[in-house]
Structure formats: C-alpha cells, structure tokens
Amino acid sequence: MNPSHRTSIRVLYGDTDKMGFAYYGNYMRWFEIGRSQLFRSWGFSYKSIEEKGVFLPVSEAFCKYVTPVKYDDQLIVETRFDPSVKAGIKFDYRIFSMEKEVLCASGYTLHACMNPEGRVIRPPRFLSQLLREHTGSPSDKKEGS
Amino acid sequence: MNPSHRTSIRVLYGDTDKMGFAYYGNYMRWFEIGRSQLFRSWGFSYKSIEEKGVFLPVSEAFCKYVTPVKYDDQLIVETRFDPSVKAGIKFDYRIFSMEKEVLCASGYTLHACMNPEGRVIRPPRFLSQLLREHTGSPSDKKEGS
Amino acid sequence: MNPSHRTSIRVLYGDTDKMGFAYYGNYMRWFEIGRSQLFRSWGFSYKSIEEKGVFLPVSEAFCKYVTPVKYDDQLIVETRFDPSVKAGIKFDYRIFSMEKEVLCASGYTLHACMNPEGRVIRPPRFLSQLLREHTGSPSDKKEGS
Amino acid sequence: MNPSHRTSIRVLYGDTDKMGFAYYGNYMRWFEIGRSQLFRSWGFSYKSIEEKGVFLPVSEAFCKYVTPVKYDDQLIVETRFDPSVKAGIKFDYRIFSMEKEVLCASGYTLHACMNPEGRVIRPPRFLSQLLREHTGSPSDKKEGS
C-alpha cells in the first residue's frame, strides 16, 4: 500500500474571492504544501533536493473543485506519490474539510526532473530510491525507475 | 469555426518563484484574464453576468506547462469557448511567448452555472444564447466572425 | 503589559520570487495570519466578528523588510494589538527567522470598522471590550475606546 | 517638475476577497506594475537593470487604502520617483479609479541597491544618472524638488 500524508491548512482571507469561496488558483499553493510536507515526512525537504542540484518543476496540474471552501475553513491536504507514472513524478491530492469531512477538491501535479542548467534529466539515483522507499509496495523494489 | 480571442499580459516579479520562472499557480490568473477578455470581446463583461445573478465558479482546471516563462516576458493568452462540452461551460487556453512565438502552456477551465444562493443551475437563456452566438454552431455560420 | 501572540509559518515556493527571497507583497498574508491567530487566542475568530456584522478592512499597511527570507524558512509572526491608537484598530507585527533568531521584518496594519453596508462605524461594544480585555494594562480600564 | 507615469490595470477576480474588494496585499503587485512601467517609459526595463547586476529589493512599503476597489474596476496607477530621498530609491504611487476619478490608494516603496552576491551597494553610476535624467533635470542639480 502506498501511504498518504496528511497536513492541515486554514483558508486565509487573502485566499478568498468575491464569491466568498477560495479562488481556484490558490489550491495550487495547497498542493505545494501537501507535497512539501510529504517530502518532509520522508525525512527529506524539497529544499534539500534542490540543494543537490535537482529541481522538480511542475509540468502538469489538474484540480477538480468538488465542494467550495470558505474563509477560515480548516482543510486537510492528503498527498500521495503515484508510483504508477513513469514519465515524470506524480503526486495525487485530496482536500477535505476538517469539520464536515467532505471532499472539497482532488487533483494531481506532474513534475519533471531538471538540472541547474534547466535541462530535463532522469531522476538521479538518490531521488528514485527515496520515492521507491516511501511508496511501500513490494513490487516497487523491482521497478528500476 | 470557433474564433479565439487573444490578449497580452506581462510576467510580474511577483509571478516568478526562486526557480526564476513563473509559479505554476499563477497561470490560473492568466486563464482568468483570458476568459474575461473573451467575454468582453463579446460585448458582455463577466461582471455583468454576475449582475444578472449568474455565477460561473470553476469546477475543473488543467494546465500543461510546456516552456517555462520568465520575468518580464510578454505573453499572449489565447482563449476559446469549447461548445462541444455540454456539462458545464468550458474554455480552452493557450499561452504563447510573444517574442519567441513558442507555446508556453495550454489548458482549460470548466465552469458550473450557479445562482446567488449557491445552487447549480442550467445556464439561463441569455447566457446560452451568448455562448451560441459566439461559437460556430449552425447559426454561427452566418456570423462571419 | 500588552501581550503578543506568536504563530509560525513556513515560506512556500509560491511565496518566493526570482531574487530567491519572499516577494514583498506576500508579507501581508503573513500579517493576516498573525492577527487572525491573535484573535483566535482571545477565543474569538475574526470570522465570528464578521458574523456579528462587523468588518475590519485594512486602511493602512506598512512593512519594513530587514532581513530577506528564503524558501522553506520557518518564521515566527509576532502580533500585538496597539491600544494607543484610537482612530482605528492597529496591530503591530514582527517577523523573526526561527533558526537564526534575527528580525526579518516589522510593520503594522490599521483597520477601520465597517458595517455590512460598507459604512465606517465606531467599534461596537463587544469588540472594544474584547480589545480592552486582551491588552492587559491597568490603564486600559480607563480608556473608554 | 518631477513627471509621473500612468499605467492602467484591471482588478481580477483573483485580486478580490470575500469582502468584495481587492485584498490589501495585492496592491503591492500594482505598485510593482507602476514602477516597472515607469522604468520602461525611461527606456530601461527593470529587467535590464538586473542584467547589469543590480537588484532593487524593497526595503519598505506603505499603502493607505482610501476608497475600496472592486472586481473589474479599471484603475490608474500613477508612479513618481521621489528624488528627495537619498537613502535608497523611493517611488510614490497613487491609484485612481478610472471611472469615478477618485483616489483609491496612495503609498510608496523604498528600495535598496544590491549586488548579485546580496550585498547592499551604492547605486552604480548608470542608475543614478538614469534617475537624475528622468526627474526634472535642471532643478535636480540642486536636488530641491
């Protein structure tokens, strides 16, 4: 089983728009919080990955907005690495309302691996090992990504 | 033929992140500029639609980041209404670099129709007529846009 | 003594700009987090104040940027209500780096009191009482704000 | 006389908050647009200044919010270099509503001069000359403006 990580955030006034809900673009920041906390839970900050000369720019992002979220709502961002995707590094997200326990949004981001010169590269060994270690499925061990 | 609308934007310092490119979440603002200018080119601001009691919250958003954009780049946001989607109102976007004429990003947003009480409704007549007039379904053929 | 409240935040990738530091406008979000957590520590969310029909729009904001903050830095936002200002409600902020214990920024926001119709009003009783109760100085008792 | 530069912007949905007005932090982006267009009107983009190895991080920012601005409002950002301040580079801003011709906000930003290593430096010659040339010449020699 591929474990997920949960982190909580609170909707700021600056996140909302005149409709009274959070602006759709701001969910991308929450996805960022989700994946950075997932990395951190693995004992590896995303910052430390960049310090090794590896950047993970977003190559695709998707979000389905299911239930609007409002100012001051406390949300759970659930993040999971998706080991089934080989062309890039993919994270899946689900955002829940903490109080009402309803699904507010779901989505994913796909990331390329880039060197400091801006060239797309294959994930270096330390990174593919890190991803493999933390996805938990036995079959992952055989996947020489 | 379904005509597109083109509007130009310039990448702010505040749009960039430490990688030196525009942060992925900020493209959603550019998509918003694209569709609001498309509405305006139809002689109808999105604001005036809300004033008639119709809101168009985003129900899905997708973006594929093809070529990174940098600070001060001048970009073209090309927006097109997609009449083939019936469950919601869909806009397609392509973002080009003005100087290099390369595709920087493409994506879409899907919108629900909502009344002031927050209930999802069918697009009211004035709106579906507006969309039909400006797209290219049968009656559009006479409109040599 | 007028007690302050401390809350911690982490600098997101989306907060940074191409200079590698946090964009100056984003500090305003951190100030918002500071004052909303101060309210919460008083047993009163800002949301609940709005639910009583009182809005506190920002009428002035100031920030002095002392030491740049970087991606993934953990910051302390220290917020204090300033009872000395009578024309409006003023909060003072200081932002510290958690690791280096240096002052990164300081500033304030001044807020008007507004009713749901958008008219500036005097702070209603429950609010002036709340502010008085939580500033702690004996002299506050005499200040019939 | 010290000439000002005027540029126009339109308030996005993403700029607004649940109060229905533009979020106070977003004005800082408009100030950025103002000063970057002022530089451009001088025949020098801020980008080209950075390309010469000179960075102008914000060291202070202030904004007074006079009249709330709403979604889709068209605003004029009026920017002026303030030659009277010698410790840093200061720009003054005034934001007007285009339709109602009322003052919506005023403020300033103060900038340090920084080299690529992050050290504060004195403005290099090309920059102080540029600033001097564009502020009202004759009287500037006496720096009385």
Count, residues in chain B = 145
- Average pLDDT (D85-89) is 91
Q: How far apart are CA D9 and CA B78, in angstroms?
A: 19
Residue B31 inside a domain? The answer is yes
Q: How far is CA D94 from CA B143, C65, D10, D13, D91, in A?
A: 44, 22, 15, 22, 10
**Segment B41-68 mean pLDDT:** 96
Residue D145 maps to a domain: no
A62 touches D: beta carbon within 8 Å: no
**B99 vs chain D: nearest CA distance in angstroms?**
15
The predicted pLDDT at position C143 comes to 37
pLDDT score of C110 more than 70: yes
Calculate the CA A15 to chain-centre distance: 19
Q: What is the pLDDT of residues A20-72, one digit of tens each?
A: 999 999 999 999 999 999 999 999 999 999 999 999 999 999 999 999 999 99
The pLDDT value given to residue D2: 72
In the prediction, which pLDDT does D37 show?
A: 97
Q: Residues 69 to 108 of B: which have CB under 8 A from any A CB?
A: none
Mean pLDDT taken over chain D: 91
Q: CB distance B28–A29 less than 8 Å?
A: no
pLDDT > 80? residue D111: yes
Distance from CA of B72 to the nearest CA of C (A): 11
The nearest alpha carbon in chain A to C27 belongs to: A14
Taking an 8 Å cut-off on Cβ atoms, the answer to whether A14 and D18 are in contact is no
* A145 inside domain: no
Number of domains in chain C: 1
pLDDT confidence bin for B137, thresholds 50/70/90: low
DSSP assignment of D10-67 equals E--GGGB-TTSBB-GGGHHHHHHHHHHHHHHHTT--HHHHHHTT-B--EEEEEEEE-S
pLDDT grade for B100, boundaries at 50, 70 and 90: confident
Residue C30: helix, strand or coil by DSSP?
Answer: helix
Query: How much is the pLDDT for D1?
Result: 53
Amino acid at C30: W
Stated length of chain A: 145
Whether residue C144 is predicted with pLDDT greater than 90 in this model: the reply is no
Q: Is residue B133 packed enough to be buried (19+ CB in 10 Å), middle (13-18) or exposed (0-12)?
A: middle
Q: Does C67 touch chain D (CB under 8 A)?
A: no
Flag if C18 and B17 touch (Cβ within 8 Å): yes
Structural domain of residue C31, as residue ranges? 5-136
Q: How far is CA A101 from the centre of its chain?
A: 20
D26-40 pLDDT, tens per residue? 999 999 999 999 999
Distances (CA, A) of A38 to A81, A103, B119, C70, D39: 9, 19, 35, 20, 42
Domain containing residue D109: CATH number: 3.10.129.10
Q: Which residue on chain A is closest to B62 by alpha carbon?
A: A62
In a domain, A140, yes or no: no
Q: Is A13 on the interface with D (CB under 8 A)?
A: yes
Distance from CA of D14 to the nearest CA of B (A): 7
Q: What's chain C's average pLDDT?
A: 91
When pLDDT is averaged across residues C48-57 and rounded to a whole number, the result is 96
